[in-house]
Structure 1
Amino acid sequence: MAISRKAAALAAAFALVLPAPASASPPPKAPGTPVRTEPLAESLRLAGAGTSLAIRYRSTGHDGRPTVVSGTLALPAGRPPAGGWPVVSFGHGFGGIADACAPSHTGPSPWERAVQETLLAAGYAVAVTDYEGLGTPGDSPGIDGRSEAYDLVDIVRAARHVAPVSRNWASVGYSMGGHAALFAGALAASYAPSLRHMGTIAMAPITQWGVQTADPAFRDPAKPVNHTIPYNGRTMPLTTPGFRAADWFTPKGLELVDLAGRACIGEMIEAVAGLTNGDVLKDPAAATDAFGRALADDEIPVARYPRPVYVVHGTEDVIPIALSRMTAGQLRAAGTDVTFVPVEGADHITLLPAIATRVREWTDRLFRRR
């Protein structure tokens, strides 16, 4: 794709600060290999960024096959420290599965921006993956822990090819991105041993699928339908052998499943307003059981994570804080150094602005910077 003369000049200027190539280049299709890099549109940049890039890079898909993923990379202003800028790989919250919903197209939400800009100002490079299938050809698998983790890891590897960044990095994520950050914390050492993962901060993470699918709010035909349900109907046929949306969704539900392929979360919230589980699902309890079985493999690994973990959740979140408390307890029992932080009065949206400064402090502790 052709770029403007101004963009070309920016790219050429940026090339002057690229690190020297490694003595042994990786195979051209290895995970983390950049495919395309160009200056990020001014309207999408984080405030205070010295350089901002849109990047496409190779990763590993939900099916274990090579794929190409898009994302963004923001570097602090000024000269990098010795060894390069430390990196935060940020997992964004769920915004839909269409390409138009990718943060590299829309920019971060205002609440995610608050955390990202705070970290950038503190001297961290901020890499944000779009996740597999968002912003690039192919379908999104939606919730898929391994794919999410690979995407978070491989954008750090890609960043090291195109910018002066360190091999030291942390996984930080919100909502679905909290799920991604935790998965990355579990898999980073084995998937990318050449990098040095420093730890994880999961903010209002989506976990405990089994507990969630047992909630009567998802099973009662008369209860309002959750706006994420049509996305399940769209993504699970991709990730779950034998799953067919037509087996579980009503005609109205199938219309919403079709809409999920092109509508971002705000439009979907409007589309399901006033609809019940019974309007969308033929048998809500049976369908929810099917969703639970499909999601079972995507529960975060309960194990001893090699690096420290922070799990943070607002007390007024619509996603019950008890789920995060349970997750933190399971990880602690498995031997992980985990800190659980309840944030009084914060909901799913107000949490991030409320803790942006604390996230910077926790990140500093993970990197032992202060």
Structure 2
Amino acid sequence: MRIRVPIAAVAALLVTVATGSAAAQPLLPTPDPDPFYATPSDLAGHQPGEVLATRAMPALPSFPDTDITLIKFRSTDSTGHPIAATTTVLSPRGRKPDAPVLSLQQIINGLGAQCAVSRVLYTTDPNLMIREAPAWNTVLKRGWTVALPDHLGPRFAYGAAKLGGQITLDGLRAIQRVPDLRVEHSPLAMAGYSGGGMATAWAAALAASYAPDLRIAGAAMGGVPMNLVSMLETLGMNRHPAFGLALAAGLGLEREYPDRFPISDQLNDRGLAIRDKLLNSCTNDILAAGAGQGALDIAKTTVMTDDPQARSVVAENSLELYSGVPNMPVFEWHSPIDGLVPVDAVVNTIHRYCAAGAKVWTEQEPVPDHLTAAVLGVPAAYGWLDARLRGEPAPTNC
């Protein structure tokens, strides 16, 4: 598994924005040199989920007897504008027509094109295969097709949780429109943990309004940061070994909301230097660039206050504050004493779903660790997904 973001560190993102000042333009990632990822000129003429291009990818020895297809499709950003997004589909060669599809949202800690799942699959990083390949192969051996969306979008808007949900849903739409995949009428499911769980949870909550045409059998989500605002309120401005990830999330939100979240305007020289190092970086480089720093080290002022406009961006990406309810069964798991994710926000959100009539099964893993809880919850989550994809009625312990 990848290094998980210490999610509470997003408190450092709400740097004061000078009222009335002109916001600097955010630093966008260097475009991927592969023209496949480029945005087509006629993008606005396409509907969400429409396929823009497909590419058969080279086989990987880590996934025997598996076809790999890269799909580019039309999606929507956080402010309603069309974007081109991508998903990588792993298909068992002996798959039956309309066998199950699982959209698996990976944790993507990054601000550059090389951080995308579709790119990391074809790097020489052996750790990805050590961590992920066994679980993915277990699913593939069941005959399921696995989709791995690049859910940060073309701007690599790390921290924009709602965006990840929309890209996930449009990726499922696109998959069912590629005839060679033979999944046009397949039952659909979604899964993810931590940052990947956030994209999954947002997709589940948005499905009824954003993608009512999809019929999703179930969504399994674990360790989900349900309320970024509460994280802001519970964390001080202390230095943190993983502060780089928090700053990266702020820069990602600036890319997605340049007029409302201009964090670069408030960075001092040290902050700007770190920002420039993070421009196209992935997890390890982000951690190295920001290690041991804190919000007070990189801001122009020594007093950090909540800017209402910037705070509203964080609120818009907080599921506890979003009124939507999943229109599919949900499996949720978490540690009851998670040191990274405020558990009360998880509990409050699940209670709201239950009160609205959603079928929710929630489990607590009896460990005080975010990462261990992820591993312990996976077997039950996948067993639950298997039952949903076989059409069994969803249980609830609301």
Tell me the TM-score normalized by structure 2. 0.75
Given that 2:241 and 2:287 are in contact with CA atoms closer than 8 Å, whether structure 1 keeps it comes out as no
Q: Does 1:34 align with 2:34?
A: no
Q: Name the aligned partner's letter for residue 268 of structure 1.
A: I
Partner of 2:146: 126
Q: Name the aligned partner's letter for residue 80 of structure 2.
A: G
Equivalent residues in 2 for 1:101-180 (5 A)? 101-107=115-121, 110-134=130-154, 139-162=155-178, 163-165=181-183, 166-180=185-199
Per-residue displacement from partner, 1:18-42 (whole Å, max 9, x unpaired)?
xxxxxxxxx9722222222223343
Secondary structure of the 2:68 match is: strand
Given that 1:75 and 1:126 are in contact with CA atoms closer than 8 Å, whether structure 2 keeps it comes out as yes
Given that 1:171 and 1:201 are in contact with CA atoms closer than 8 Å, whether structure 2 keeps it comes out as yes
Partner of 1:15: none
Given that 2:239 and 2:292 are in contact with CA atoms closer than 8 Å, whether structure 1 keeps it comes out as no
Q: Give the Cα separation in 1 of the matches to 2:169 and 2:308.
A: 32
Per-residue displacement from partner, 1:99-157 (whole Å, max 9, x unpaired)?
010010113575454543332222221111102534xxxx2332334321221112122
- Superposition deviation, residue 251 in structure 1: 1.7
Q: Does 1:189 align with 2:189?
A: no
Given that 1:112 and 1:352 are in contact with CA atoms closer than 8 Å, whether structure 2 keeps it comes out as no
Per-residue displacement from partner, 1:217-270 (whole Å, max 9, x unpaired)?
xx2345656232222342233333243224432221222222222110111111
Match of 1:307 among 298, 323, 328: 328
Q: Does 1:267 align with 2:288?
A: no
Q: 1:325 to 1:80 in 2, by over 3 A?
A: same
Q: Give the Cα separation in 2 of the matches to 1:192 and 1:290.
A: 28
Secondary structure of the 2:346 match is: helix
Match of 1:91 among 100, 105, 117: 105
Moved more, 237-246 or 200-209: 237-246
Partner of 1:258: 276
Given that 1:225 and 1:280 are in contact with CA atoms closer than 8 Å, whether structure 2 keeps it comes out as no
Q: Give the Cα separation in 2 of the matches to 1:283 and 1:116.
A: 47
Q: Name the aligned partner's letter for residue 309 of structure 1.
A: V
Q: Give the Cα separation in 2 of the matches to 1:154 and 1:321.
A: 29
Partner of 1:24: none
Given that 1:48 and 1:77 are in contact with CA atoms closer than 8 Å, whether structure 2 keeps it comes out as no
Given that 1:111 and 1:353 are in contact with CA atoms closer than 8 Å, whether structure 2 keeps it comes out as no
Count of residues in correspondence between the two structures: 338
Partner of 1:17: none
- Superposition deviation, residue 92 in structure 1: 1.6
Structure 2, gaps ≥5 residues long: 1-32, 35-43, 122-127, 393-398
Equivalent residues in 2 for 1:318-337 (5 A)? 318-320=339-341, 322=343, 323-337=345-359
Equivalent residues in 2 for 1:215-254 (5 A)? 215-216=234-235, 219-221=236-238, 226-240=243-257, 241-254=259-272
Q: Does 1:359 align with 2:381?
A: yes
Cα RMSD over matched residues? Answer: 3.0
Q: 1:238 to 1:277 in 2, by over 3 A?
A: closer
- Superposition deviation, residue 169 in structure 1: 0.9
Partner of 2:7: none
Equivalent residues in 2 for 1:335-350 (5 A)? 335-345=357-367, 347-350=369-372
Match of 1:59 among 75, 79, 91: 75
Moved more, 151-160 or 290-299: 290-299
Moved more, 202-211 or 285-294: 285-294
Structure 1, gaps ≥5 residues long: 3-26
Q: 1:304 to 1:229 in 2, by over 3 A?
A: closer
Q: Name the aligned partner's letter for residue 225 of structure 2.
A: I
Partner of 1:72: 88
Q: Does 1:211 align with 2:233?
A: no
Partner of 1:21: none
Q: Give the Cα separation in 2 of the matches to 1:222 and 1:106.
A: 30
Secondary structure of the 2:243 match is: coil
Secondary structure of the 1:349 match is: helix
Given that 2:76 and 2:166 are in contact with CA atoms closer than 8 Å, whether structure 1 keeps it comes out as yes
Q: Name the aligned partner's letter for residue 295 of structure 1.
A: V
Q: RCO higher in 1 or 2 (8 Å CA, sep ≥ 6)?
A: 2
Secondary structure of the 2:89 match is: strand
Partner of 1:296: 315
Partner of 1:201: 220
Q: Give the Cα separation in 2 of the matches to 1:125 and 1:237.
A: 34
Partner of 2:66: 50
Q: Give the Cα separation in 1 of the matches to 2:58 and 2:308.
A: 43
Q: Give the Cα separation in 1 of the matches to 2:336 and 2:129.
A: 21
Q: Give the Cα separation in 1 of the matches to 2:133 and 2:352.
A: 30
Q: 1:264 to 1:33 in 2, by over 3 A?
A: same
Given that 1:221 and 1:284 are in contact with CA atoms closer than 8 Å, whether structure 2 keeps it comes out as no
